[in-house]
Amino acid sequence: MGGQDKDGAIEATLIPGDGIGPEITRAVVAVLEALGSPFAWDTQQGGLAGIEAHGDPLPGVTLDSIRRTRLALKGPLTTPVGGGFRSVNVRLREEFGLYANVRPAKTMVPGGRYEDIDLVIVRENVEGLYVAFEHYIPIDGDPHAVAISSGVNTRAGSRRILEFAFDYAARNGRRKVTVVHKANVLKALTGIFLETAKEVAPRYAGKVEWDDRIVDACAMQLVLDPWRFDVIVTTNLFGDILSDLAAGLIGGLGTAPGANIGADAAIFEAVHGSAPDIAGRGVANPLAMLLASALMLEHVGRGHLAARMRAAVAKTLNEDNIRTRDLGGTASTMEFAEAVIRHVRSEA
């Protein structure tokens, strides 16, 4: 994925995004350069910046770039309220068939409510209730008397995400996959997911253990004893909720990266949004996007660079105690990045 140019560099689309996006993107690109990352960036606009430049939050030139590179690092995009624009993130998922949303939750700063969290949520990203086949039925003059929504989970879609999760576990030395569903009530919609898991999981016997949990029990156990989980795979709505719950276990969205992966494209991003309240002040935390770029390095087979980056980040946070304000420190975006770069260089 991601074509290689003649120098062996990997072409990738860079979308700095809106709000704090350009500031954190600058910091991330500087760290990647210090690491000697392989990416040759094609910088394109999206979100409000896309509207300003091309009249569309997802301009054709940006889509063309991703079609060519099939690999992107994306800053947060502001979805304009009103004006008839659909969510850019949903459009990207649909356009590139990004069926897997991978959200690792790993403790970066000790001393929070939970120590040593290290789990991964794999969320099905294109089916389920988020297909949003919805309508109202008017009764007695109330146009919204009844609201109806139909979810869609397919055998093929379930198999694809389950195989992805088990392959991910096997590839990353993870011991267990927990399949999360609500098959006791939504017997068809999420029953198909559990049924397909029973077909897929035995193929990984001896490599990856598995069990299954009902989503409500899983939510409680994630709070009581998160260490019992390793990789969780689930359908779209449950995955959306559980992945934010998991981000909460590690102290919030500030350190949470995400990957959106399809058969022939992958887009990496921070989970947080464009933080308009602090934009332009140089105080945003670049860590989530930095960790997203580490996932991107692993995706293109540069796991050794990702490991070096994470080690430098850990030293910056926990030995130098250099942190941005959201993590209780005083460092600016670039001061944090420069500290990471010093560690990257000293260990090169």
User: Which positions are annotated as active-site residues?
Assistant: 130, 182, 216, 240, 244
By the rule CB under 6 A, 89 interacts with ligand NAD: yes
CB of 148 to ligand NAD, least distance (A): 26
Report the residue from 92, 181, 326, 336 that binds ligand NAD according to the rule CB under 6 A.
Answer: 326
By the rule CB under 6 A, 79 interacts with ligand NAD: yes
Are residues 69 and 40 in contact, defined by beta-carbon separation less than 8 angstroms?
A: no
By the rule CB under 6 A, 191 interacts with ligand NAD: no
DSSP string, 155-220: HHHHHHHHHHHHHHHHHTT--EEEEEE-TTTSTTTTHHHHHHHHHHGGGGTTT-EEEEEEHHHHHH
CB of 8 to ligand NAD, least distance (A): 30
Comparing CB distances to ligand NAD, the nearer of 196 and 243 is 243
CB of 50 to ligand NAD, least distance (A): 12
By the rule CB under 6 A, 77 interacts with ligand NAD: yes
DSSP state of 114: S
CB of 255 to ligand NAD, least distance (A): 9
Comparing CB distances to ligand NAD, the nearer of 3 and 276 is 276
Alpha carbon distance 54, 61 (integer Å): 9
Report the residue from 78, 178, 196, 235 that binds ligand NAD according to the rule CB under 6 A.
Answer: 78
By the rule CB under 6 A, 76 interacts with ligand NAD: yes
The residues, ordered by sequence, that sit 6+ positions from 151 with a Cβ below 8 Å of its Cβ are 127, 128, 129, 131, 133, 186, 189, 237
Report the residue from 278, 294, 300, 312 that binds ligand NAD according to the rule CB under 6 A.
Answer: 278
Buried b (16+ CB within 10 A) or exposed e, 33-61: ebbebbbbbbebbbbbbbbeebebbbbee
CB of 341 to ligand NAD, least distance (A): 18
Ramachandran assignment for 288, one of left (phi > 0), alpha (psi -120 to 50 degrees), beta (any other): alpha
Are residues 177 and 208 in contact, defined by beta-carbon separation less than 8 angstroms?
A: yes
Alpha carbon distance 273, 17 (integer Å): 10
Q: Hey, which residues between 14 and 33 contact ligand NAD (CB under 6 A)?
A: 20
Tell me which residues touch ligand NAD (CB under 6 A).
Answer: 20, 76-79, 89, 253-254, 269, 272-278, 284-285, 288, 326
